[in-house]
Structure 1
């Protein structure tokens, strides 16, 4: 494994050097003049993020929060600047550069009438408020007119918080909780009381059973509530979904290289390079990548990974464009801690159990390698000014080979170490065809998407399971060292292997239409049909298949929005449906139906004070039906009349009270219980629902002027109330509440950034649902160069 990792790192380094050579070979010879300017709107407000391009040479810049920009090292002479920003007409301005001087200019952008009606303009200083997306509704809807609740975490806040791992991003999502990390590095979070996996990428399947590196993320979208109408039900939960939106090529040549070092031997190198490949800028390329090594804070455990993500755009014509987006990674690590407490003990709280927080109870020889390849393609074809076709394709592959471990409690002082020696590949394919229209029937505007979808997932598993004798986890002695690869391999030679294959297909059709009944009152009507076919589990040794079944499901959706103040304040309500296919029959041989989740929700959205204040607050109620429970009259069979309830409040605020100060805050309250189920859990909160109360906060301030312009700091944290690892009438095991505080200080300039971050300032001890101890105090330092 070490030799293989070394080969990956050498290949990675070679590709990085080659890309940098391509970019720097096109750079201009440094001059001795400069252009300093400011981009403003017609009412003199600064424009943040405008692109400034020097025509005829490959020099570009981006305006900062106060609208300013600098282009240095220019030869004396006359230049023409082209300035562009979404929602505004491009502007050009001529400027003369004199040797040894900085030419100062101001450029004004004007809103186009078409974009004024269709795009929310994001100027000013609210750096973390980027709510506009076509992904949630599969249509170009502004947040204020969308009846669904969602949160978007931008790359700006990821950079400020010096995110080095994917799971840390979720600190900014109301109600997400402490991440659950599974054996292969994959993870899941909470959404409205339901465990929700990370299986959606660029709005369709991104199913990979491995760790996800954040270096290729543009934004992370948390879409709330059962969303089976517009998304594949096998990839989401009844609480919602998390959509990873990757970075795409653009027309400007720029790049950055970033290095982070930190506690527990963290070393991370990442890069983001974007460049047109021809003079017409019809062929675009962007490449992101990362090398990451880190040791656990415990006595054993490590992570070594490499991610490489090239992306290409080809604009064949004004009507036709192609996108190819590839993400490949290699991940070598030890399993995260997973502990199941003894149900016969007297201790019922992980904090009271007395397990050493820094003991892993494993060994670095028990590692695994996961590989993943995620290929995403998109074709856009504009039929007319009102209609366009979208074709999506994804092919996913991930495989785990090696040892994945868990700890099984036997008493209040003993545990057994268990390991599976895996060879476990997954393959997935999804093809989706959409037609999107924006048209009028009479005086009413209609925005419509209709599509068909094909999805297939296949897995092959080969593994034995080995369990060692119990040890005393308070005083393990020499037995602590016996859990290693040699011992496991010796035992595996005499163990039975589990070998099987699964294969699933889904065929879907859907339609969704947003009707502007008036300029302030909008209605969304949506419906999806699914045909699900599970080929069952095939056991090659027996040449037999077990559990094959097929089901049909309908998923409707209705949303209403009324804008009290046009484009600023809206009231909304929705009814949404999600479903989950399950196999089996009852005692009478009647096949089970899909489980159904029906949500109704109402709330208010706010986008006021020129986007300085964005907020969403809502109350939701999710009823789950068709769940199965034990048939007491017929042991070994189930009844399908079970129900579950999940209801609560969610609130989010993204604010910029004054220049330089940015606030992101969220709160989620969830009340979940089994309303009709097996008697040992009926009326109780599911352990998988997590804490009832969750809160998040991040406050950021940076100097906007003066000699120290760009200097800033951020502070924030997360709170979670107590929760359960197990919650039944016969045994309940709890996890204590937690409050975790983080802080950062940074100096951010157009060409470089330096930052220091401290996570878990108070060294709080807290655990995930799987009773995995979380990171203690950690210090990281980062330096980023931009070119």
Structure 2
């Protein structure tokens, strides 16, 4: 690693470029009413030059070779504009954009804009990267709002992963998202902050989401501690300053009823005070009887622009879920997987529901120090409460036909506080351009669990089940007289991290060298192992080279550090997870970024990995070391004027490479899947009597699946997975109507594992063919 860093430093310091005289392009971007259009993307078409507009509406592009160019300004919700500019050596070219944002013209643009907006040129500002995705030495895949709309995805648990190579959602209780990628669980971020907690946060509803960014590899350490496999960043909707609205209603299989409202606009004439309000309500059953998920959410956002330099954004979200008992979506058999129909359940009609309440607040202060440097401070607070019970059997009868059902209390309180302060900007030293990011982030999280009270409530013949025969008096009674903080088991974790990153551009921005480092100190506390402190420095080095205006290649090496709370059965504290990632990749933008593709090869080594203890229920053990190698390919965009496409493939080979038990070395890591391939195509008619009609077709395929919970290389292999979905939609003026049909081949699809403690199999089945009909009106 030292040699790599030394080579990078020597390269950046020793290259002497005889620079020809260049020019500068600068200008202003405003909306129609004269207000600065902050965060608009500025791109010099056919080059690697790009930037984002600051809060004053100002942008600047340096070191432009003399010649004729096309300058493009784009932003979600605003009409894209282009201008021709002629750059001369030694001159500053001034230009400006006025983006349409008011009146009937905008409303028509919003309604009839390209419905296949599957490509994003830049990551969101919450990732703090001012560099185009094409030029970042990192594999970042962005799932846009249009993709989520076309697939009619309700929340993060419903098929979002199909849009990213190698990502897979694991079966589990539906009170939080468990997503695996590159051989392990990835962290959950929201607006650039790590909000991962034990059993929370609640799955984000897509009605409040602008986009989802999957960042692969351990570069998440610049934002917070994170797994070496990566993280996903949910970017919520923010005020745009455009006065507009959208209302939708969805009905579907299993008594699904859902409505959403999205309002966006100004609260004063000056345009300094902006708002965004999202409200949704949902009632939904399942293919299993007595299973339901009813939801209500409200998310107001306020933004105030003090002057041309400073703004503050405050966001609050309240989520309320009422569901059937956690675990009602599991099937159990002592004979093998898929031994029961898809509508099997262990729940009863007179069971008390589980209730989840979550409050979250995000506050962001942004200040432009000058034209090149910005300061950002942000704070997040999440309070998540769950009160209910979970269902899990104690075992089977001798004939393996009768299941002994049981339930246990599952109350939970999670409190998370995250703070971040960072400065980023550009400077020049001779022929080199430096894009610097430095800051500090802090986190303090506490969890309280109560699952200590349990009891059985009756037998069930799984092959001839009879429901409705269990009296209410047969269910276990839970003592909740004490507050959850008093009766729950308490875990706490906190950390402080300091980081510095420099992206050094040379050769007229064709070569970019990234050098970065982070120092983290962390503390974990639990009732079993007490307080554990750990600290570590993690470096990063990357290189990105633009072969031409459309093609770039990159290499990156970085490390990760994730402290772990808890201890094993014998009381030994868990060591922090340490990992490293080596990666090389190629990115290609086709036809001025109409569609984009990427190919990457990587190797991740993780030390001190946890997995379930096969000999002691509810305890974990540290495997020692795992190594994951893989190849990932992603393609997305507008292939033609009518056809949009998303396709990806991933090969993942994860194995245990070191362990105290020699028999475990060489087996697949829990949760890894050898082959994952997905595709989604949308064809929309434009110039015929069918204008406005759209047809979509999507596939999902997985092979070589392993169970995520316990896997010893024998009886837990899962069968191959194939699902086919379709949709038809019609868009006219302000209305959009869409019908989605999922699993149109009516296959029995499931995911699960072998439960060694009870000597039986458990799995979650997906519904067979089902549908959703959505009507959206924009105003």
Q: The TM-score by the shorter chain falls in which range?
A: 0.7 to 0.9
Task: Give the match for residue 171 of structure 1.
Answer: 162
Task: Give the match for residue 503 of structure 1.
Answer: 492
Q: 1:558 aligns with which of 526, 536, 541?
A: 541
After superposition, the Cα gap between the structure-2 partners of 1:136 and 1:408, relative to the gap in structure 1 and judged at 3 Å, is farther
Cα pair 1:390 1:433 within 8 Å, conserved: yes
Cα pair 2:544 2:552 within 8 Å, conserved: yes
Matched, 1:392 2:378: yes
Cα pair 2:545 2:553 within 8 Å, conserved: yes
Shift of 1:619: 0.7
After superposition, the Cα gap between the structure-2 partners of 1:618 and 1:294, relative to the gap in structure 1 and judged at 3 Å, is same
Shift of 1:333: 0.5
1 CA distance for matches of 2:80 and 2:635?
32
1 CA distance for matches of 2:283 and 2:477?
30
Describe the superposition over 1:236-268 as per-residue Cα deviations: whole angstroms up to 9, x where unpaired: 433111110001001110001000000110000
Cα pair 2:442 2:497 within 8 Å, conserved: yes
2 CA distance for matches of 1:455 and 1:749?
48
After superposition, the Cα gap between the structure-2 partners of 1:51 and 1:712, relative to the gap in structure 1 and judged at 3 Å, is farther
Q: 1:110 aligns with which of 83, 87, 97?
A: 83
Cα pair 1:417 1:483 within 8 Å, conserved: no
Task: Give the match for residue 212 of structure 2.
Answer: 220
2 CA distance for matches of 1:585 and 1:361?
32
Shift of 1:449: 0.7
Q: 2:667 aligns with which of 661, 680, 684?
A: 684
Task: Give the match for residue 487 of structure 1.
Answer: 474
SS at match of 2:392: strand
Shift of 1:437: 1.4
Task: Give the match for residue 25 of structure 1.
Answer: none
Cα pair 2:73 2:81 within 8 Å, conserved: no
SS at match of 1:721: strand
Task: Give the match for residue 108 of structure 2.
Answer: none
2 CA distance for matches of 1:591 and 1:399?
27
**Most deviating of 592-601 and 393-402:** 592-601
After superposition, the Cα gap between the structure-2 partners of 1:668 and 1:641, relative to the gap in structure 1 and judged at 3 Å, is closer
Query: Where does 1:33-44 land on structure 2 (aligned, <5 Å)?
Result: none
Task: Give the match for residue 327 of structure 1.
Answer: 317
Task: Give the match for residue 77 of structure 1.
Answer: none
Task: Give the match for residue 768 of structure 2.
Answer: 776
1 CA distance for matches of 2:563 and 2:84?
48
Task: Give the match for residue 359 of structure 1.
Answer: 344
Task: Give the match for residue 138 of structure 2.
Answer: 148
SS at match of 1:489: coil
Task: Give the match for residue 719 of structure 1.
Answer: 701
Cα pair 1:274 1:286 within 8 Å, conserved: yes
Matched, 1:252 2:242: yes
2 CA distance for matches of 1:719 and 1:393?
40
After superposition, the Cα gap between the structure-2 partners of 1:126 and 1:214, relative to the gap in structure 1 and judged at 3 Å, is closer
Cα pair 1:508 1:529 within 8 Å, conserved: yes
Task: Give the match for residue 662 of structure 1.
Answer: 644
**Most deviating of 590-599 and 450-459:** 590-599
SS at match of 2:599: strand
Task: Give the match for residue 68 of structure 1.
Answer: none
2 CA distance for matches of 1:424 and 1:213?
21
2 CA distance for matches of 1:358 and 1:755?
27
2 CA distance for matches of 1:619 and 1:573?
10
Matched, 1:451 2:439: yes
Cα pair 1:87 1:115 within 8 Å, conserved: no
- Unaligned stretches of 5+ in structure 1? 1-49, 57-83, 91-105, 538-544, 632-636
After superposition, the Cα gap between the structure-2 partners of 1:413 and 1:692, relative to the gap in structure 1 and judged at 3 Å, is farther
2 CA distance for matches of 1:107 and 1:133?
17
Matched, 1:303 2:303: no
Cα pair 1:389 1:435 within 8 Å, conserved: yes
Task: Give the match for residue 64 of structure 1.
Answer: none
Cα pair 2:623 2:656 within 8 Å, conserved: no
After superposition, the Cα gap between the structure-2 partners of 1:115 and 1:145, relative to the gap in structure 1 and judged at 3 Å, is farther
Shift of 1:337: 4.2
Cα pair 1:626 1:640 within 8 Å, conserved: yes
1 CA distance for matches of 2:303 and 2:409?
41
Cα pair 2:288 2:329 within 8 Å, conserved: no
Task: Give the match for residue 722 of structure 2.
Answer: 739
Task: Give the match for residue 649 of structure 1.
Answer: 631
Q: 1:350 aligns with which of 337, 349, 352?
A: 337
Describe the superposition over 1:533-577 as per-residue Cα deviations: whole angstroms up to 9, x where unpaired: 12333xxxxxxx7421110022211111111113x1011111121
Shift of 1:226: 2.3
Q: 2:260 aligns with which of 265, 270, 292?
A: 270
Cα pair 1:703 1:712 within 8 Å, conserved: yes
2 CA distance for matches of 1:394 and 1:433?
12
Shift of 1:603: 1.4
After superposition, the Cα gap between the structure-2 partners of 1:396 and 1:225, relative to the gap in structure 1 and judged at 3 Å, is same
Describe the superposition over 1:63-86 as per-residue Cα deviations: whole angstroms up to 9, x where unpaired: xxxxxxxxxxxxxxxxxxxxx9x9
Query: Where does 1:11-22 land on structure 2 (aligned, <5 Å)?
Result: none
1 CA distance for matches of 2:30 and 2:438?
34
After superposition, the Cα gap between the structure-2 partners of 1:592 and 1:763, relative to the gap in structure 1 and judged at 3 Å, is closer
1 CA distance for matches of 2:651 and 2:387?
40
After superposition, the Cα gap between the structure-2 partners of 1:202 and 1:408, relative to the gap in structure 1 and judged at 3 Å, is farther
Task: Give the match for residue 562 of structure 2.
Answer: 580
2 CA distance for matches of 1:227 and 1:486?
53
Cα pair 2:223 2:441 within 8 Å, conserved: no
After superposition, the Cα gap between the structure-2 partners of 1:318 and 1:638, relative to the gap in structure 1 and judged at 3 Å, is closer
2 CA distance for matches of 1:655 and 1:730?
39
Aligned residues: 667
Task: Give the match for residue 157 of structure 1.
Answer: 147
Matched, 1:533 2:523: yes
After superposition, the Cα gap between the structure-2 partners of 1:728 and 1:700, relative to the gap in structure 1 and judged at 3 Å, is closer
Query: Where does 1:669-708 land on structure 2 (aligned, <5 Å)?
Result: 669-677=651-659, 678-689=661-672, 691-708=673-690
Matched, 1:610 2:592: yes
Shift of 1:230: 1.2
1 CA distance for matches of 2:572 and 2:352?
45
2 CA distance for matches of 1:683 and 1:107?
53
**Most deviating of 174-183 and 282-291:** 174-183
SS at match of 1:687: coil
After superposition, the Cα gap between the structure-2 partners of 1:206 and 1:613, relative to the gap in structure 1 and judged at 3 Å, is same
Describe the superposition over 1:587-613 as per-residue Cα deviations: whole angstroms up to 9, x where unpaired: 999976422111101110011212123
2 CA distance for matches of 1:423 and 1:533?
25
Describe the superposition over 1:27-84 as per-residue Cα deviations: whole angstroms up to 9, x where unpaired: xxxxxxxxxxxxxxxxxxxxxxx9996x69xxxxxxxxxxxxxxxxxxxxxxxxxxx9
Shift of 1:407: 4.1
Describe the superposition over 1:661-699 as per-residue Cα deviations: whole angstroms up to 9, x where unpaired: 11110001100111111345321112322x211111001
2 CA distance for matches of 1:569 and 1:214?
33
Matched, 1:515 2:504: yes
2 CA distance for matches of 1:388 and 1:584?
39
- Unaligned stretches of 5+ in structure 2? 1-28, 35-58, 60-69, 100-112, 614-618, 754-762
Shift of 1:130: 1.1
After superposition, the Cα gap between the structure-2 partners of 1:475 and 1:284, relative to the gap in structure 1 and judged at 3 Å, is same
2 CA distance for matches of 1:731 and 1:455?
40
Supply the RMSD in Å over aligned alpha carbons. Answer: 3.6
TM-score, normalising length: structure 2: 0.79
TM-score, normalising length: structure 1: 0.78
Shift of 1:430: 0.7
Shift of 1:778: 1.0
After superposition, the Cα gap between the structure-2 partners of 1:116 and 1:146, relative to the gap in structure 1 and judged at 3 Å, is farther
After superposition, the Cα gap between the structure-2 partners of 1:573 and 1:486, relative to the gap in structure 1 and judged at 3 Å, is farther
